[in-house]
Chains A and B, each alone.
Chain A
Amino acid sequence: MMTFTLWDILRNLLLAARWTVVLSLVSFIGGGLLGMALLYLRIGKARAGRMFVLGYVELFQGTPLLMQLFLAFFGLGLFGIDVPAWLAAGLALILWTAAFLVEIWRGCVESVARGQWEASASLGMGYVQQMRYVILPQAVRVAVPPTVGFSVQVVKGTALTSIIGFVELSKAGTVVTNATFEPFTVYGLVALIYFALCWPLSKSSQILERKLNVAHRNH
């Protein structure tokens, strides 16, 4: 039987953690772009668009991410595509992330006082100008802390992709456990690596919130 040193375990986990980082980035950026498109519909004037986004959010926030991963994995297969795990993982995580980001951002846009809309309209601004020069600059300030905070959920969400066979940190934890028979050490280390990824994000979200709140109180 082979023996594994602590360094062997840690090295393998860290190598796999790269994929957790990559998948998190892809999901967050892709989800952010899709979230923006959905936000446009959600706060727009067309009723059908608003209803669509409402239904979308309800669907993705009201079902487990794990189920969405399974459906993406097996659902894409229905089209006769041989679905690699990374594709299903990326797709499901992007759709899921967008559903949360659009709700966070909608709250931020709506937090801009009604009078700001009226004031900019009275200056003869059109919808796009109002958004570009008055509403969005203020909404973005409010949006930064909760968006950074949500990125923690995305990183943690990537752990579920191990279940459909994407090899990242959690999957590596299972594989290494099966080789070493040391679940306590391995899962402990896996948890610490996730913590090292997530905690700086959580902390900076809190710090940003405190900073931007001070600015917010001034006007």
Chain B
Amino acid sequence: MTYRFDYSWIAEYWPVVLKGLVTTVELTLIGTLFGVALGIACAWTRSLGPRWLRPPVVAYVELIRNTPFLIQLFFIFFGLPSLGVQMTEFQAAVLAMVINLGAYSGEIIRAGIEATPRGQFEAGASLAMTRFETFRHVVLIPALQRIWPALSSQIVIVMLGSAVVSQIAAEDITFAANFIQSRTFRAFESYFLTTGLYLLLALALRQALRGVGKMLFPRRAAR
């Protein structure tokens, strides 16, 4: 093969790549925070919440889990404006990620909650805890601890999936790669570089989530 790799454009374009990296990290952080919060709400509803609320939550979870993220994104960004909802690209990307992670993490967290022994609820009640306190301290925290590895993988999957938000022109890493290749015609090099960035980001995110897990559930580390 006589192809010569040409990375001479980096000197000029590294700020674009950096900006993309920052955007991807921002998207992931906000998306994860609200997505997991939505997931906890869904999990609570499906396992302990009022019965009438369960069918809509089941429908939401099934609908999201059985359609591609790209279509959810297009529906939010291109479809919703016809109902009068206007958003920036970034807002639409965040919303799509929250809705997506909410459905997946809801199922994961629900599995954790349903593995809680019945006696734990009764023990909580016998300590004069309210239902909310019991849920927060006795049910939710151990449930999250149980499913933390699965939840971490899902968060990494959502971060990697966020590459498609470049399709609605949210300026993430992939957007940077598209931008650079359209200016320099060095398509393979720019995608090769950004793929490497994603790989590093995935490894870093996995480590960070392990750290967060140790912080949130210190008892496990002591054992």
Q: Is the CB of A190 within 8 A of B203?
A: no
Q: Is the CB of B67 within 8 A of A198?
A: yes
Question: Which of B70, B75, B80, B192 lies at the interface centre, i.e. has the most chain A CB atoms within 10 A of its CB?
Answer: B70
Binds A, one of B112-120, B137-145, B158-166: B158-166
Q: Is the CB of A70 within 8 A of B75?
A: no
Q: Nearest Cβ in chain B — how far from A131, in angstroms?
A: 28
Interface residue tally on A, bucketed by range? 35 or more
Q: Is the CB of A194 within 8 A of B82?
A: no
Q: What CA separation (Å) do A182 and B75 show in the bound complex?
A: 11
A74-B188, A198-B67 in contact; A64/B161 too (CB < 8 A)? yes
Chain B hits for A58, CB < 8 A: 199
Q: Nearest Cβ in chain A — how far from B76, in angstroms?
A: 9
Q: Is the CB of B191 within 8 A of A78?
A: no
Q: What CA separation (Å) do A77 and B1 show in the bound complex?
A: 12
Residue A152, interface by CB 8 Å:
yes
Residue A133, interface by CB 8 Å:
no
Q: Nearest Cβ in chain B — how far from A14, in angstroms?
A: 15
Chain B hits for A78, CB < 8 A: 1, 3, 188
Residue B32, interface by CB 8 Å:
no
Binds A, one of B9-17, B58-66, B86-94: B58-66
A156-B68, A195-B67 in contact; A184/B80 too (CB < 8 A)? yes
Residue A188, interface by CB 8 Å:
yes
Chain A hits for B191, CB < 8 A: 67, 70-71, 74
State the main secondary structure of chain B at its contact with A.
helix
Q: Is the CB of A191 within 8 A of B71?
A: yes
Residue A66, interface by CB 8 Å:
yes
A71-B192, A177-B78, A202-B62 in contact; A66/B71 too (CB < 8 A)? no
Q: Is the CB of B202 within 8 A of A183?
A: no
Q: Nearest Cβ in chain B — how far from A77, in angstroms?
A: 8
Query: Which residue of chain A has its CB nearest to the CB of B162?
Result: A64
Chain A hits for B81, CB < 8 A: 183
Residue B127, interface by CB 8 Å:
no
Chain A hits for B167, CB < 8 A: 163
A74-B188, A79-B1 in contact; A67/B194 too (CB < 8 A)? yes
Q: Is the CB of B163 within 8 A of A173?
A: no
Chain B hits for A156, CB < 8 A: 66-69
Q: Is the CB of B65 within 8 A of A202?
A: yes
Residue B34, interface by CB 8 Å:
no
Q: What CA separation (Å) do A188 and B72 show in the bound complex?
A: 9
Q: Is the CB of B78 within 8 A of A187?
A: yes
Q: Nearest Cβ in chain A — how far from B66, in angstroms?
A: 4
A67-B195, A74-B187 in contact; A184/B79 too (CB < 8 A)? yes
Q: Is the CB of A183 within 8 A of B187?
A: no
Q: Is the CB of B70 within 8 A of A170?
A: yes
Question: Which residues of A (179-204) have their CB < 8 Å from a CB of B?
Answer: 182-184, 187-188, 190-191, 194-195, 198-199, 202
Residue A115, interface by CB 8 Å:
no
A63-B198, A78-B188 in contact; A187/B1 too (CB < 8 A)? no
A187-B74, A195-B63 in contact; A62/B82 too (CB < 8 A)? no
Q: Which of A65, A71, A163, A187 contacts B71 (CB 8 A)?
A: A187
A74-B187, A78-B3, A183-B78 in contact; A190/B65 too (CB < 8 A)? no
Residue A208, interface by CB 8 Å:
no
* A40-67 interface bits toward B, Cβ cutoff 8 Å, 1 = contact, 0 = none: 0000000000000000001100111111
8 A-B pairs, CB-CB below 8 angstroms? A67-B174, A71-B192, A74-B191, A78-B1, A78-B188, A152-B65, A170-B71, A187-B75
The residues of A with any CB-CB pair to B shorter than 8 Å are 58-59, 62-68, 70-71, 74-75, 77-79, 152, 156-157, 159-160, 162-163, 170, 173-174, 177, 182-184, 187-188, 190-191, 194-195, 198-199, 202
